[in-house]
Amino acid sequence: MKFTRVNSLKGELTVPGDKSISHRSIMLGALADGTTEIHGFLKGADCLSTISCFSKMGIVTEDKGDTILVHGRGMRGLARPDQVLDCGNSGTTTRLISGILSAQKFDVTLTGDESIQKRPMKRIIEPLSMMGAKIESVRGNGCAPLSIHGSALHGICYHSPVASAQVKSAILLAGLYADGETRVIEPYLSRDHSERMLTSFGADIRTEGTEVILKPAARLEGQKIQIPGDISSAAFFIAAALITPDSEILIRNVGINPTRDGILKICRDMNADIRLLNVKEGPGEPTADLLIRSGKLTGTVIEGAVIPTLIDELPVIAAMACYAEGTTIIRDAAELKVKESNRIAVMVKNLSAMGADVTETEDGMIIRGGRTLHGAVIDSHRDHRIAMTFAVAAMGADGETEILDAECVNISYPGFYRDLAALTR
Ligand code: S3P
């Protein structure tokens, strides 16, 4: 797909539902008693992979258009799948479902696409094994395919070396079935959607700082869930409006959970004009409408505890930093190397191809802003967030940018290019 400079962005939009929350709504809905009614579910390829895995284990979901119904079969209601479970491109599906499957009374094999088969799974194999799980990397390389032999589990107290909601959630989901309490302590707090949703489904779970404590659950109760717009999807429009002169856009009903809202904080540090309107506290997840106006941006330092709260937004923040005055430093973000692609290497290569002054570091990058970017051929590496990032970067660049494998945006945002085009003037 090809992109060129735009004059301004104007108008309103609603971004699709939050990907993390959509996955969890299917998983907990499947394990609950009764029907779970989900509004705002993201029908992107990743979340459809989660539905497909659970349907192979006997879970019926109904797509009613704006609503998805999940007919839960209870904590012990999953059936043994008669085929391999394919998690597609989805790390969330692979890691979270592993926690659930470790405790079932059947054996199962999990796999996924080329990217998934390269992503680290030792980070869940180790803690789940400590809980008594029998889970192995089939090729012995610490990656999927994974073979899981369902077993009786016991609670653990786990000091996670990474701030990862996928690791934390895999352990918590296994902990629902464990004998005794499960504790997870993180170096920094990662997104807490699992904790919030487990609470609403009736689990006994509490958080103390960066520690979460869960008691095993005899049953969960089906819920009505309202999923807010995904701030990680809104991020592309936030960046596009901030870097395109004479822009003003309103993004309605965006999730602003404090474990996810780092992009808002960093944009403010960069001098951006972002206003939160119509702020609602919940139930479940807080939301707001975001009013964004373009203006002069300045460089900043992004590090430490804020990193997990904007981890998926760092590619587009890096692109935005090219349009800011001064230097932006991103550090403590080595996790970017093990996402759908190596997002440090891929960002540095692609931004450099567009004429940006950017240096790769061990755990991030240094971006010296203020240069005019020019069009280039961008290899998305079939990473949805890389493709969307460069559609945005191209909006302020001279000449034409071509994005390869641009359709990979279907993973998290099927209508992305249409929605972007609708705002451009
Ligand atoms: C996610 C957690 C994050 C994030 C991913 C979704 C989740 O991964 O990058 O897109 O839904 O729990 P990590 O928890 O591994 O950092």
Q: Which pLDDT score, from 0 to 100, does residue 228 have?
A: 98
Q: What is the pLDDT of residues 344-385, one digit of tens each?
A: 999 999 999 999 999 999 999 999 999 999 999 999 999 999
Residues 262 and 278 occupy one common structural domain: yes
- Asked if residue 51 and residue 198 are part of one domain, the reply reads yes
For 69, which DSSP code? E
- 328 Cβ closer than 6 Å to some ligand 1 atom: no
Among 226, 246, 281, identify where a domain stops.
226
| Domain termination residue (choose one: 226, 260, 293) | 226
- The verdict on the CB of residue 230 being under 6 Å from ligand 1 is no
312 in contact with ligand 1, CB cutoff 6 A: yes
Is 184 found in the same domain as 91? yes
What's the gap in Å between 234 CA and the centre of ligand 1?
16
Q: Which domain holds residue 241?
A: 2-16+228-422
Please tell me the predicted confidence (pLDDT) of residue 251.
99
Work out the pLDDT band at 267, boundaries 50, 70, 90.
very high
Name the residue of 28, 166, 341, 411 whose CB sits within 8 Å of the most ligand 1 atoms, as the mutation to test its pocket. Answer: 166
Per the model's pLDDT, the better-predicted residue between 425 and 344 turns out to be: 344
> Is the pLDDT confidence value at 264 over 90?
yes
Does the Cβ of 89 fall within 6 Å of ligand 1? Answer: no
Supply 244's token pair: 């395109």
C-alpha span between 83 and 150 (Å, rounded): 16
Give residue 20 CA to ligand 1 midpoint distance, Å: 7
Which residue's alpha carbon is nearest to atom 13 within ligand 1?
164
Average pLDDT on 106-133 reads 98
Pick from 5, 14, 16: nearest CA to 425: 5
* Digit-coded pLDDT (tens) for 43-97: 999 999 999 999 999 999 999 999 999 999 999 999 999 999 999 999 999 999 9
User: At residue 282, does pLDDT exceed 90?
Assistant: no
Residue 68 β-bridge partners: 38, 63
pLDDT at 225: 98
One domain, residues 215 and 256: no
Q: Is the CB of 166 under 6 A from ligand 1?
A: yes
Alpha carbon of 355 to ligand 1 centroid (Å): 30
Residue 1 CB burial class (10 angstroms; 0-12, 13-18, ≥19):
middle
Neighbouring residues of 126: CB distance < 8 A, sequence distance ≥ 6: none
Residue where one domain finishes, among candidates 193, 226, 259? 226
418 band by pLDDT with thresholds 50, 70 and 90: very high
Same domain? 109 vs 235: no
Question: Ligand 1 centre and the CA of 385: distance in Å?
Answer: 13
Q: Are residues 157 and 123 in the same domain?
A: yes
234 with 220, same domain? Answer: no
Q: Are residues 81 and 116 in the same domain?
A: yes
Q: What is the pLDDT confidence band of residue 283, given thresholds at 50, 70 and 90?
A: confident
Beta carbons of 31 and 72 less than 8 angstroms apart: yes
| pLDDT exceeds 90 at position 335 | yes
pLDDT classification of 99: cutoffs 50, 70, 90: very high
Q: Rounded distance, CA 103 to CA 335, Å?
A: 28
Asked if 266 and 180 sit in the same domain, the reply is no
Give nearest CA residue, ligand 1 atom 4.
312
* Number of Cα atoms under 13 Å in the Cβ half of residue 249: 30
DSSP string covering 263-288, please?
HHHHHHHTT-EEEEEEEE--SSS-EE
Work out whether the CA dihedral 67, 73, 74, 78 comes out positive or negative: negative
Tell me if 383 CB under 6 Å of ligand 1. no
- For residue 22, the CA-to-ligand 1 centroid distance in Å is 13
Percent of the chain exceeding pLDDT 70 equals 100
Q: Closest ligand 1 atom to the C-alpha of 232?
A: 10
Q: Is-catalytic flag, 332? A: no
Cα 6 to ligand 1 centroid, rounded to whole Å:
32
Half-sphere exposure at residue 12, Cβ-oriented, CA atoms within 13 angstroms? 4
Per-residue pLDDT band at 41 (split at 50, 70, 90): very high
68 and 153 in a single domain? The answer is yes
> Residues 192, 312, 379, 383: which is the catalytic one?
312
Q: Which residues are registered as beta bridge partners of 183? A: 157, 213
**Dihedral sign, CA of 313, 283, 184, 208?**
positive
Task: Give the position, in ligand 1's atom list, of the atom nearest the Cα of 312.
Answer: 9
- 181 and 97 in one domain? yes
Q: Is 335 in the pocket of ligand 1 (CB under 6 A)?
A: yes
**Average pLDDT rounded to a whole number, residues 91-113:** 98
Residue 174: pLDDT over 90:
yes
Q: Measured from the CA of 308, which atom of ligand 1 is nearest?
A: 16
Q: How far apart are CA 234 and CA 255, in angstroms?
A: 9
The pairing of beta strand 10-14 with beta strand 134-137: unpaired
CATH for 262: 3.65.10.10
Q: Distance between alpha carbon 199 and the CA centroid of its chain, in Å?
A: 20
Return d(Cα 89, Cα 312) in angstroms, integer: 15
* Count of domains for the chain: 2
Residues 307 and 363 placed together within one structural domain of the fold: yes
| Mean pLDDT taken over the chain | 98
* Predicted local confidence at residue 315, as pLDDT: 98
Pocket test for ligand 1, best of 19, 95, 193, 311 (most atoms within 8 A of CB): 311
pLDDT by residue (tens digit) across 176-186?
999 999 999 99
Residue 295 to residue 315: CA distance in whole angstroms: 20
